[in-house]
Chain A
Amino acid sequence: MAAESIGGRPQWTRHVVRHAGIAGGVLLVIVLVALLAPLISPYDPIAQPDIIGLKNAAPSLIHPFGTDSFSRDVLSRCIYGARVSLSVAALATTIAVTLGTLYGAIAGYAGGLVDAAMMRFVDAALAIPRVLLLIAILALWNGLPLWLLIVVLGATGWFGLSRMVRAQVLSLRELDFIAAARAVGASGPRILIRHILPNVVPTIIVAATLGIGHVIILEAGLSYLGLGVQPPSASWGSIIQDGADQVGSAWWISLFPGLLIVTTAIACNTLGDALHAAFDPRSTTGAMAELDS
């Protein structure tokens, strides 16, 4: 990298680290808003007070984000939508990280034929674009329950991470301290859980942070296609969908949730990159590209 470095780190790293505080702050505010939704929200998000007089009202002091075609307050819907979007993302990522870590750790520690078989499955899964896979799975259900959406998002999101965890475990298990652990009589599972996994935690944290941003976008895309969160509950993606056919006349319905999605995703990615840089001083952002699959 051509940039001058101070303290051994390239310019962009310090740049990323400086923005981590802002990104963390933004995420904190969004999470607080979601948690305190009933206290903050100015209106009931599903109330339709005046379906004729207040239909598609432009942003004003009374309705800062305007109203939608059912006269519902868009700001209130966005605030409640944050709950759905964030919890779907957090839970789905938790599932994905758990599956990916376990799968990768077992494959890496077992090695040999077990590893080869397990990884060929991941290769095959990675060869299918995730969005197509999701559309194919979700199209099977009519009126999908929310928990199932979370499970499906989680179950399709761990392939990239499992490869990274597996690669790390594969190199960790050859290290002296693992040989030392075996020499004091520790069992296989104990070595994996107590000696290997703690060394993989940085990778997992980074993957989780980046994964949340990714799932928010993915869920928004699916909801936009009508395959995600089902009415009357609203996520940011389904609010965009509500306003999709009137973007020309009532742009505020789609714009504000869209901005929220972009902001949250950027904050997650910035924080993820910063954590990655903090954990591994030699890394470049390119190393994490594999996680996006």
Chain B
Amino acid sequence: MSDPLLRVSDLRTYFHDAGTIARAVDGVSFDVARGETVAVVGESGSGKSVTALSILRLIRNPGRIEPSSSILFEGREMLGLGETEMRGIRGNRIAMIFQEPMSALNPVLTVGEQIAEVVRVHTDASRHDAWERAVEMLALTGMSDPRERATAYPHQLSGGMRQRVMIAMALVLRPALLIADEPTTALDVTIQAQILELLEKLQEQLGMAVLLITHDLGVVAEVADRVVVMYGGEVVERATVAELFAAPQHPYTEGLMNAMPRLDQKTERLTTIPGIVPPSTSWPNGCRFRDRCSYAWEKCKMEHPPLYVIAGNHESRCHLAIEPDRRESSHEPIAARVQVHA
């Protein structure tokens, strides 16, 4: 394989506060190739958004990316770059769209101005040229009447249109990588599908890679090429979409799949994963998922599992990979018992 567009290796982002250390991202590695879509999946608190912000180096105090980490983008080590060089990359080579299209747009500037500003920050385009590019980009996102819409303020637009504006803002300079942090979570289901379709279409047109942060496996199945499942600040499973859905290896991935409503099975209630993600200030020893896992045994308490290679590019951070027989003896997870007593 040729050099990937983005290579994140052993990324550790810790938040130091009053003597405690929150290890929000704790040794995450993955690659994104040019033009491909990689989904990062996990529930709240698994570290996926911090991973995204770390790539853009937008972590604020007291957060810190530990020196052992490495983020190679287009062959350059991003963690060694100065703030000015980083600013040249943000919005230009790597762009980001946020979950909440309302709060991610400035209420006192017209949407056209906000898109044009990206152009003006990174190029020496004139005010007029920047505006023209903003209008063009809005048209590309399928906005009807883009010239008129560009003069609207965010509150005058619907949620779906605002997300289109966010996308226009992110893509106006044709970045090589788009980081989309839950881009459809705040939208109606019908709009969700439109926005995903639009993202796919633009990805093809502009030839960019997409790093999609989501907790929605439905979205993953629809648009991603490869999937990185995160839990407890770590990668717990890595696979292509087809492999992941055909044969999930990690019990956490399995749990996420079971928690999805399905059309081909009649279920009264959705299955849930008992318990919550433990606080990042005190990850458990051994496997971080063990209290919520229905296969956990002594080894999971003693030994922190490495990423076992299952086959080819499929990896799983679970001891089941070398002791598959244990799958036969499932039991009620500890977290479920605690819940009953509480």
Binding site for B on A (CB under 8 A): 112, 175-177, 179-187, 190, 194-195, 198-199, 201
| Contact status A176-B98, CB under 8 Å | yes
Query: Which of B116-124, B207-215, B260-268, B279-287 binds A?
Result: B116-124
A-B CB contact pairs (8 Å), 8 listed: A176-B100, A179-B98, A179-B104, A184-B117, A184-B118, A184-B170, A198-B108, A198-B109
CB distance from A112 to the nearest CB of B (A): 8
A184 touches B91 (CB 8 A): yes
Question: B169, A184: Cβ atoms under 8 Å?
Answer: yes
Q: In whole angstroms, what is the CA distance A175 to B107 when docked?
A: 11
Contact A183 B96 (CB under 8 A): yes
Least Cβ–Cβ distance between B2 and chain A, in angstroms: 27
A198 proximity list for chain B (CB < 8 A): 106, 108-109
Q: Could you tell me if A194 and B117 are in contact, using CB atoms closer than 8 angstroms? A: yes
Against A, the Cβ 8 Å flags (1 = close, 0 = not) of B88-101 are 11111001101010
Bound CA span A184–B98, Å: 12
Residue B87, interface by CB 8 Å: yes
Known interface pairs A179-B98, A186-B91; 14 further A-B residue pairs with C-beta atoms within 8 A, sorted by A's residue number? A180-B98, A180-B169, A182-B90, A183-B56, A184-B117, A184-B121, A184-B169, A184-B170, A185-B86, A185-B88, A185-B118, A198-B106, A199-B108, A201-B108
Residues of A within 8 A of B170 (CB): 184
- B91 contacts which chain A residues (CB < 8 A)? 183-186
The residues of B that contact A195 with a CB separation of less than 8 Å are 106, 109
**Using a CB–CB distance below 8 Å, which chain B residues touch chain A?**
56, 58, 61, 86-92, 95-96, 98, 100, 103-109, 117-118, 121-122, 166, 169-170
Distance of A170 from chain B, by nearest CB (Å):
13
Main secondary structure of the interface of A (DSSP, over half): helix
- Taking a contact as CB atoms under 8 Å apart, the answer to whether B103 and A176 are in contact is yes
**Is B100 a contact partner of A187 (Cβ separation < 8 A)?**
no
Residue of B nearest to A112 (CB): B61
- Closest approach, in angstroms, between the C-beta of A282 and any C-beta of chain B? 16
- Smallest CB–CB gap between A287 and chain B, Å? 20
Q: How far is the CB of B169 from chain A (nearest CB, A)?
A: 7
Are B98 and A187 within 8 A (Cβ)? Answer: no
Contact B121 A180 (CB under 8 A): no
Q: Is the CB of B104 within 8 A of A184?
A: no
**Closest 10 A/B residue pairs (Cβ):** A184-B91, A185-B90, A176-B103, A185-B91, A176-B104, A185-B87, A183-B96, A198-B108, A180-B104, A177-B106
Residue from B90, B104, B106 with most neighbouring chain A CB atoms (10 Å): B106
Which residue of chain A has its CB nearest to the CB of B61? A112
B105, A185: Cβ atoms closer than 8 Å: no
Given A176-B100, A194-B117, A183-B107 contact (CB < 8 Å)? no
Residues of B within 8 A of A182 (CB): 58, 90
Q: Which residues of B contact A190 (CB under 8 A)?
A: 121
Q: Which one of A176, A185, A187, A201 lies within 8 Å of B89 (CB-CB)?
A: A185
Q: Which of chain A's residues has its CB closest to B119's CB?
A: A184
Contacts of A187 in B (CB 8 A): 87, 121
Query: In the complex, what distance in Å separates the CA atom of A185 from the CA atom of B166?
Result: 15
What separation, in Å, do the CA atoms of A182 and B53 have in the docked complex? 11
CA of A49 to CA of B295, assembled, Å: 108
Contact B106 A181 (CB under 8 A): yes
Q: List the A side residues contacting B92 at CB < 8 Å.
A: 185
CA distance A112 to B89 in the complex (A): 27
CA distance A57 to B100 in the complex (A): 72
* Residues of the B chain whose Cβ atoms lie less than 8 Å from the Cβ of A179: 58, 98, 104
Residues of A with C-beta under 8 A to B166: 180
- Chain B residues with CB below 8 A from A177, complex form: 103-107
Give Cα A171–Cα B251 distance, bound, in whole angstroms.
Answer: 41
Cα of A198 to Cα of B108 in the assembled complex, Å = 7
Q: How far is the CA of A190 from the CA of B91 in the complex (A)?
A: 15
Cα–Cα, bound, A190→B121 (Å): 9
Chain B CB count within 10 A is highest, among A175, A176, A177, A198, for A177
A112–B95 Cα distance when bound, in Å, is 29
Known A-B contacts A180-B98, A184-B121, A194-B117; A175 and B90 likewise in contact (beta carbons under 8 Å): no
Residues of B within 8 A of A186 (CB): 87, 91, 117, 121
Q: Inside 8 A of A181's CB, which chain B residues have their CB?
A: 106
By a CB distance below 8 angstroms, the chain B residues around A201 are 108
CB distance from A108 to the nearest CB of B (A): 15
Specify which chain B residues have a CB less than 8 angstroms from the CB of A185 in the assembled complex: 86-92, 118, 121-122
Interface residue from B58, B108, B122 paired with A183 (Cβ < 8 Å): B58
Residues of B within 8 A of A112 (CB): 61
Question: What's the least CB distance linking B256 to chain A, in Å?
Answer: 26
A175, B95: Cβ atoms under 8 Å?
no
Specify which chain B residues have a CB less than 8 angstroms from the CB of A175 in the assembled complex: 103
- Cβ distance A113 to chain B, nearest Cβ, rounded Å: 11
Nearest CB to that of A180 among chain B residues? Answer: B104
- Cα–Cα, bound, A182→B96 (Å): 10
B90 to chain A, nearest CB (A): 4
